[in-house]
Chains A and B, each alone.
Chain A
Amino acid sequence: MNTHAPLTVTNGRLLLPGGEIVPGAIRSEDGFITAIGPDVTPQPGDLVFEAAGKLVTPGLVDLGVFEIDKPAFHFGGITRAALMPDQNTPLDIPSRVRFAAQSGKPDFWVHPLAGATRELKGEALAEIALMREAGARAVATGRRWIGDSGTMLRLLHYTAMLGLTVIAHAEDGGIVGKAVATSGEMATRLGLPSAPAKAEALAIARDIALAELAGAAIHFRNVTTAAGLDLVRAAKVRGLKVTAGVSPAYFMLSDLAVAQFRTFAHLSPPLRSEDDRKAVIAAVADGTIDVIGSGHDPRGPEDKRLPFADSAPGMAGAETLLPLTLNLVRDGVIPIGRAFDLLAANPARLLGADAGRLAVGAEADIAVVDPDRPWIVDSDKMAASAGNTPFDKQPVQGRVLALFKGGVTVRTKKVRPA
């Protein structure tokens, strides 16, 4: 039961599904959008937020995060996140899924991803149907690839029956071993254990073949190489239920970023070559990539202030997700409407959540955004529970000025009239 007053965000530039931007207002009642457009006006008793000509967008839906870190998500305009099953106690049984699904309320929605296998070991299937009852919207293999093809095929048959998408990690485990970098000049010079980038394409090729065999939907959380993206592109042409995601690090950085053993650039999958980085940008542009997610994984010094190969992979990405994606808009790679498809509408659809778009009837997850506002990323002053970002001290543009979850105010900054 939502007992809050209805909300009207006035005088905004509304980003509508399809990418059209129209001036107007948006109104919500009881958590859902009830009116949107140029003629909408606040009703008596409404909470009114004056958007002062700024962009009004859906709240972001972040697919595949490793920690629920509300301050960081709210800073970044994220109102929902799909939580990876790789937790201290993995999300591989219904009770943990049920608990996780409630853990963000009321001002944040957590969509737990059911662990595909028990303890995420890639061996015995977990109780996926019961976890669906407990609130899981999709299934994830976790940080690792399922090495056994028979297990993967049985998983995909099962999830196809249940109508759930499998979110897969695309790196062939046999080739990767204990690698922490992509094979190439940088890894060679630094003497880091490395694996060829082709480990990704190998994993994707097998998993596409198995998904086709099972008639299952599969989503690759991070596709970071030209060869991997080519496979996804070809699978889409053939009409298979294959989708792909990526984190901004892979279109912003190459493996040059790990120079000097910078552990903040130790990611999984590892950063790739410059050619692969460009291939990711091309794949965002041509629609091969469906989702951009932060992979938010805050790690303190105990995990990061270590020799590179001993450090934990991952970055705190929630705060930089929107501004780094907006780089692609400023560079003319994608229009702004498509940016929010990648950040909100597509991941919401994959999760079966009626959110991620500004339309009557959808949940009133609303952000007010200044896409041009400059700021500087500072790992010492992040909202996240740890500041492990490879973008430290980098100037970015794009800031969330106000955020509403289900029509209720989460945070607002004072908005100066344009």
Chain B
Amino acid sequence: MISPEYTYPEGAAAFPHNGLVGIAGLAPHEIWFLLDEAEQWVELNRNAQKHREVLSGLTIINAFFENSTRTLLSFEIAGKRLGADVVNMAVATSSVKKGETLIDTAMTLNAMRADAIVIRHASSGAVQLIADKVDCPVLNAGDGQHEHPTQALLDALTIRHAKRAFNGLRVTICGDILHSRVARSNILCLTSLGADVRVCAPPALMPADIERMNVQVFHDFDAALTGADVVMMLRLQMERMEGQFIPSPREYRHLYGLSMERLAKAQPDALVMHPGPMNRGIEIESDVADLAGRSQITTQVEMGVAIRMACLDVLTRRGRKAEGWA
């Protein structure tokens, strides 16, 4: 176990929230609690036998209104390893395409008496809207350009394993900050834990007044990398861009692609992270992405399952009257 930087109360007071819509609204010790809870699942997942009947008899619905492979799979595995009945609802096969409103879909899911609903949606705020209407815990698996809290938690867990402490840690997040919910959740999570966060993007991909979120703003990637302990690269979200934001991927790579030469500006032991899916040869060169000992990209995926197990476990404790949470 990692030495505790934060203490938290026993039982239900450690996490007094009914759902996980965002990192915003979480206290540092609540984030820390979730990270601690995830450690046991990291251990379990490294065993051959990786099943626990913690959520046995519970139904978890993964309602994904936006395409996803990795996050959906991660949530599905997390639920199944904890013994829950996991159902996936994908947009392509749902009545959302027939004009049903989001609220009606939410009420339908609610009537099916799910014990937790995991939601991804292309519109910012959609998950909060559903969370306000259903009785069970709601987990945000990404809403528009707003938040993706489990991604930030798994990134924090990955960093904690490698760096142990966050205070003063220099984290550079580079890429399409404007369209990135991962960036927003990571900024909230990492600054809350005491890291010094830098964000780097061309002006067109940098949201206004982002410095009000306690980050340093860079447009020059080399300057942003200098002395960094963690380098987090983001994908260009072409599908969310209205109009032209950059002249070409080639030009973007020239200015913001993470190469070995560029990585040398960071600390010698700087971690390389990417939430995936990667565009190799655009925002990150293959040799950097595969750099043994430095690249955390597969570790992030591993931590993702553990974090989602922790979130599903913790958020259903009230409903299943777990000891100390009833």
Contact = CB atoms under 8 A, between A and B. Distances in A.
Interface of A: 177-178, 183-185, 187-194, 196, 260-261, 301-302, 305-310
B103 A305 contact: yes
8 contacts: A185-B213, A188-B209, A188-B213, A189-B213, A190-B125, A192-B145, A305-B129, A307-B143
B125 A307 contact: yes
Interface in B205-221: 207-210, 212-213
Which of A178, A191, A302 neighbours the largest number of chain B CB atoms within 10 Å of its CB? A191
B125 A188 contact: no
Given A192-B145, A193-B242, A261-B125, A307 B102 contact: yes
B215 to A, nearest CB: 11
A307 B128 CA distance: 9
Given A188-B209, A260-B128, A308-B124, 19 more contacts: A177-B242, A178-B242, A183-B208, A185-B208, A188-B184, A188-B207, A189-B24, A189-B213, A190-B146, A191-B143, A192-B125, A261-B125, A261-B128, A305-B129, A306-B101, A307-B102, A307-B126, A308-B125, A309-B124
B120 interface: no
Contact of A191 (B101, B102, B146, B209): B146
A178 B179 CA distance: 14
Interface centre among B101, B125, B147 (most CB of A within 10 A): B125
A193 B243 CA distance: 13
A191 B147 contact: yes
Nearest to A273: B209
Contacts of A184: 208-209
Contact of A307 (B124, B209, B213): B124
Interface of B: 24, 101-103, 121, 123-126, 128-129, 143-147, 181, 184, 207-210, 212-213, 242-243
Given A177-B243, A305-B103, A309-B144, A190 B209 contact: no
B238 to A, nearest CB: 16
Contacts, number: 76
B124 A194 contact: no
Given A305-B101, A308-B123, A188 B208 contact: yes
Contacts of A308: 123-125
Contacts of B243: 177
A360 B103 CA distance: 55
A260 B128 CA distance: 8
Contact of B210 (A188, A192, A305): A188
A193 B245 CA distance: 14
Contacts of A307: 102, 121, 123-126, 129, 143-144
Contacts of B242: 177-178, 193
A260 B184 CA distance: 15
Contacts of A302: 101
Given A190-B124, A261-B125, A261-B129, A306 B208 contact: no
A310 B125 CA distance: 10
Nearest to B208: A183
B128 A306 contact: no
B129 A306 contact: yes
Contacts of B209: 183-185, 188
Contacts of B145: 191-193
